[in-house]
Amino acid sequence: MSVKKKLPLLFIVAAALLIVAGCEDCPGRQAACGYAYDPTYDPRATIDALLAGGGPAFGDAVAVEDTTEPRYVILMISDGWSYNHLAATAAYTGDEPGYTSWLNYPMSTWDYDARRLNGGVGYDPQRAWSEFGYVAGAFTDSASAATAMFTGRKVDSGNINTSPADVLRLETFSELAALRGLAVGAVTSVQLSHATPACWYAHNAYRKNGYAILDMGIWGVPGLSGEGAGYQGLRGPSRMTPAVLIGAGHPDWNSDYISARQRDLLAEDAAANPGWAFVERVEGGPDAGERLLTAATDPSTERLFGLFGNEEGCFDWATADLDGRNPENPTLEESTRAALAVLGRDPEGFALMVEGGAVDWAGHANNLDYMIGEQRDFDAAVEAVINWIEDPQTPADWENTLLIVTGDHECGYLTAGPGVFADEPLGEVSERTLAEEKTYSTGLRASWDDADGDGVIDEGENVHWAWNSTQHTNQLIPLYARGHRCEAFHGMIVAEDPIRGEYIDNTSIYLVMCTALND
């Protein structure tokens, strides 16, 4: 892999502060793309100020020092998870993933719109546990949630690293990591230009402009592959391009976010560039995971692109027993291992984001069978990362690596029954009760022993669990962390919840990842 020229990090931070702070004569600095970075961005603001007045959450931790040591920052996101999603998976498998014993905090996920709709309060702990419908009333979307985690800024729904009203570009952690000299990569089980991975490498006014977003990820220039629908919302070229992009959305099966033109251009460029490797789904072809790992472990591969997916735009669904996978698509675990193989060759280190995106989709569908299968695939990917960090043959260890495992929001309002608060334990989760999941009288799905077969949860019938929404909710979700500077989360507590205890905000992820660039 080519070695990128590394600038002293204090210089990088100083330049970043000048970009966002401006001056009396020039209140906003135009980026090279022609779009201004936010001139009101005060990097000394605290999360308390964010919660009180809506300012940015970006603490003194950004003033990091240069280091000759490699750094590895890995953020793994189970999109749509919650405490009960984890509990359901553990109940089915009979085992809890090891990361649940790490440093952990509940985390708030509200965005700019949710705070506005909730009367100026992003998350009210008292209302969350006294009014059942409160958390289902106003909530974040995946784009604004990812923007908060990757930039430390609260924005409105749909934004890909742009400020409220889409006026300004927001600097991302992955941009700072690239300036620091780290390689950058993104892996997802859904479309490569879907909201969460998009926020790792792009800027756009709206998450649905998938073609423009993917152009930024591959070539750094939005609109390179075309124009028209899917190419709007442009916010200038990228300041970095990922070394690894692996995910779904292959246009031969689903072209909602990635066009056939983009696939063809990518294949042409990969053939013309010896350091590029492009692996895609081939109908009836050999095992995708094996082909992907073969390309990744080739020492000549400097940029790896994996493009797979089914008709729904994701890797094939796995049921709770992990059945149903099509070998034409890789698993998230295989994709993660491939990313680690390529990125791990960079001498400066890397910043990697891995998303289990279809956990959220299963929540929207109120399908616990699929949700558990997707969560298990995500957990396997986490285990692959842990194994890589602890492998003595890799340059990583827990002294130079930060691993964060979390979600972006809850999806589906999964609880022990209709109208039951989320702190009550779920009932039996097994093959028998998964088979009992069906629509109940409100149009949502639940699992219960329907003694009279009328499709209604009658008094006295045993309920195992229920979905109370088909959308996201504003619940607190868990965050787990281990490794370099993970203890910085202890300084990010914003308030106390009567059930979950002291909690942090999702903007703190950005802060802590920045501290991990330090010695």
Instruction: Tell me the pLDDT tens digit for each residue of 189-245.
Output: 999 999 999 999 999 999 999 999 999 999 999 889 999 999 999 998 888 999 999
The predicted pLDDT at position 67 comes to 53
pLDDT band at 165 (very low <50, low <70, confident <90, very high): confident
Amino acid identity at 465: W
What DSSP string runs through 452-491? Answer: T-SSS--TTPPEEEEE--SSEE---EEEEEEETTGGGGGG
- Tokens 């890799």 -> residue: 394
Amino acid identity at 95: D
pLDDT 10s digits, 321-377: 998 889 999 999 999 999 999 999 999 999 999 999 999 999 999 999 999 999 999
Beta carbons within 8 Å of 421's beta carbon, 6+ residues apart:
129, 132, 415
What SS3 state is found at 504? strand
pLDDT > 70 fraction of the chain, expressed in percent and rounded: 87
The predicted pLDDT at position 91 comes to 98
The predicted pLDDT at position 236 comes to 86
Question: What angle do helix axes 9-21 and 173-180 make, rounded to 10 degrees?
Answer: 140
Average pLDDT over residues 269-276: 96
Average pLDDT over residues 414-434: 98
pLDDT 10s digits, 445-492: 999 999 999 999 999 999 999 999 999 999 999 999 999 999 999 999
Average pLDDT over residues 260-288: 95
pLDDT 10s digits, 84-132: 999 999 999 999 999 999 999 999 999 999 999 999 999 999 999 999 9
The predicted pLDDT at position 93 comes to 98
